[in-house]
Structure 1
Amino acid sequence: MGRAKITMEPISDPKKRKFTFNIRNENMIQKARQLATLCDINVPMILYSDDQETPQIFSPDHDQLKRLIDVYKRTGPEGIKYYALSDYYTDRKIKIEEELVKAKKKNLEAKFPSWFDFLDNCTEAGLRKFAEGLEKKNH
């Protein structure tokens, strides 16, 4: 069986809050290291709590972190793409709608074919005969 869900609200006991922060902080740094190793990317992370005097910085390459901060300062917040949870659902909805349109088109083509494969290899005389047959059915 799974663990009980934790309600997302601030922990009132300062001792428990600090303990939880330290545990989750270590886990975040471990995940950042794994992501950096597995994907061969630089994963800088700045963690700051009101209890700390200075922010905790994690980066395998401090020069890369400085370059990233400089790029951020030059481009500004409007140059950085933020991807929120609502963006994820919007993108997912668009993708599902596109798949639905394709499926509807495929079903329509299966139900009412617009082209017969045997016409691809037909001679001109055969095509004329087929057209005459269609005309006879329309009258």
Structure 2
Amino acid sequence: MVRRKTEMKRIENATSRQVTFSKRRNGLLKKAFELSVLCDAEVALIIFSNKGRLYEFSSSSINKTVEKYQRKAKELGIDSIAVQVQENLQHLKEEAVSMSKKIEQLDVSKRQLLGDCLESCSINELHQIEETLEQSLSNIRSRKDQLFKEKIKQLKEEERALVEENAKLREKCEKQSRLLSTTLQVVHREISDVNTELFIGRPPER
């Protein structure tokens, strides 16, 4: 049976949400333990459920690990980095929302150009759609005329090449015809020179 990919959004059903939380929490705690043992890493994990219940794991002391993190964060300026990351995320979210709106507008515009979703359009909007369609038709006709002209030019060039080829073949045929006529005349003369008299009886003695 193929396992379906879980959609990353909040589970609306409370029972399913609690079951998923328990399974994922236990799996996360197990992975944290394995990481600390296999890699000899100092790991601290803190989880709060949606009801505020605390779950934690630490390979040593969670308080010491948190203090160590705070000292390291202060040294590296992680607070300012976190703020910058948060700002970047907010900017990306705004861009995503803006792009989503643009895509929706383009989809509506496409439907309107196809003759759908026109009920909510005003007179001015319908006039703009009409002008857009007329401009599109003008561009299409212009492109079609250009393709026709290019095709006609191509056919004329092919016709010229065929005429030249036909002229060469005609000249070749005429040469072969003249040669054949000359050959027949020579053969006819040779046949005429042959003695074709008929003798009855014994041939005369010489």
Return the structure number with greater relative CO, CA threshold 8 A, min gap 6: 1
**Looking at CA atoms only, which structure, 1 or 2, has the larger radius of gyration?**
2
TM, length-normalised to structure 2: 0.34
Relative to its length, the structure with more helix (as a share) is 2
